[in-house]
Amino acid sequence: MMLVSVLSLKGSPGVTTFAVALAARWPAPTRALVVEADPSGGDLALRFFLPAAPGLVGLAAAARHGGDADLVWRHSHRLPGGLPVVTAPSDADQARAALSAVLPDPDGGLGVLRAAANEPGTVLVVDCGRVDPGSPALSIVRCSDVVVLLSRAHAEDLAHLPRRLPVVGRWSPNPVLLLVGDGFSTAEVARELGVAPLGRIPEDPIGAAVLCGRPNMVRWGRTGDPAHSVLGRYAHKVALRLAAHEQPPVAASGEAEPAPPPTLRAVLDVPPERPSLDGTRPAPGSGSDPNGPRQGGQAS
């Protein structure tokens, strides 16, 4: 049972696409569901030509009268391939209004999302979009078991992270940083920020196109199925790490308890070895780093 928030702090690095990939490739037998909670409005209904109802608005109306843990599932659609999703309206005002009804209350109540995520064998992957201190989705982030932060790897994207990463660490005990696209290498980011990214999302235009529901690219078949795409395989690796972190190890009878899996803590209270990225240092590939830049990325 787990609630995973996927978000960014700047720009649009493909949060929705990766949230869908992560849920689609979550290891069985756990059942996974995607919830759009982006205050700027949802994309999945438009991408996959889904009707407005059921969705986040209907879930918000039902939540006002209470409900059981299955309430979220009853307000979901299924994408091609079978992944259930709760879609948000594309209009930002409607999305914010719906979010206000399903968020955990300020007194520490569970809310319908947390209640659904607490069910055994269940993971909710919540697309929170771009989050700042005033975002209505921040309540979801704060009650999440894991926060997956996506960031592009250019100087202008990374420059604000040294100040904001400690804040993300206070939002969640288990934050994970993933890089998206080309730019600074993973080693450079780790050295500059004092933070070890979990990895870099690989470039996979076909896999991303399918997860974005784009027509005229490739149908949801073997070539675009998340189980076979490069993006899907990477999302599966991330999901396995997150799932292993949640499940306690089981020792055989008479044996010592084995060591738990490594804690997924990308946001560390470690100062950078050099000044934070501000665009003044040489660009990647200019000879400043023997590792050079790594290429990669995906569609937003």
Residues 170-214: tens digit of each pLDDT: 888 889 999 998 899 999 999 888 888 999 999 888 888 877 776
The secondary structure of the chain, three-state, reads: CEEEEEEECCCCCCHHHHHHHHHHCCCCCCEEEEEECCCCCCCHHHHCCCCCCCCHHHHHHHHCCCCCCCHHHHCCEECCCCCEEECCCCCHHHHHHHHHHHCCCCCCCCHHHHHHHCCCCEEEEEEEEECCCCCCCHHHHHCCCEEEEEEEECHHHHCCHHHHHHHHHHHCCCEEEEEEEEECCHHHHHHHHCCCCCEEECCCHHHHHHHCCCCCCCCCCCCCCCCCCHHHHHHHHHHHHHHHHHCCCCCCCCCCCCCCCCCCCCCCCCCCCCCCCCCCCCCCCCCCCCCCCCCCCCCC
* Strands lying side by side in the sheet with 31-36: 77-78, 84-86, 31-36, 122-130, 2-8, 146-153, 175-183, 199-201
Q: Residue holding tokens 């690219």?
A: 217
Higher pLDDT, 94 or 207: 94
Q: What pLDDT is stored for residue 106 in this prediction?
A: 52
Q: Which of 3-17, 27-41, 59-73, 261-275 has the lowest mean pLDDT?
A: 261-275
Q: Residue holding tokens 């005033």?
A: 134
Stated pTM of the model: 0.80
Taking 80 as the threshold, does the pLDDT of residue 290 lie above it? no
For residue range 242-254, list pLDDT tens digits in order.
Answer: 998 655 433 344 4
Reported confidence tier of residue 114, pLDDT bands at 50, 70, 90: confident
Q: What pLDDT is stored for residue 96 in this prediction?
A: 92
Spatial CB neighbours of 250, under 8 Å, sequence gap ≥ 6 = none
Q: What pLDDT is stored for residue 127 in this prediction?
A: 97
Which superfamily is assigned to 2-246 in CATH? P-loop containing nucleotide triphosphate hydrolases (3.40.50.300)
Taking 50 as the threshold, does the pLDDT of residue 264 lie above it? no
Q: Which of 291, 237, 300, 242 is nearest to 266 (CA)?
A: 242
Q: What pLDDT is stored for residue 246 in this prediction?
A: 59
Q: What pLDDT is stored for residue 197 in this prediction?
A: 92
Reported confidence tier of residue 107, pLDDT bands at 50, 70, 90: very low
Residue 187, exposed/middle/buried by CB under 10 A (0-12, 13-18, 19+)? middle
CA distance 26 to 247: 14
Q: What pLDDT is stored for residue 20 in this prediction?
A: 94
Q: Residue holding tokens 């005990």?
A: 173
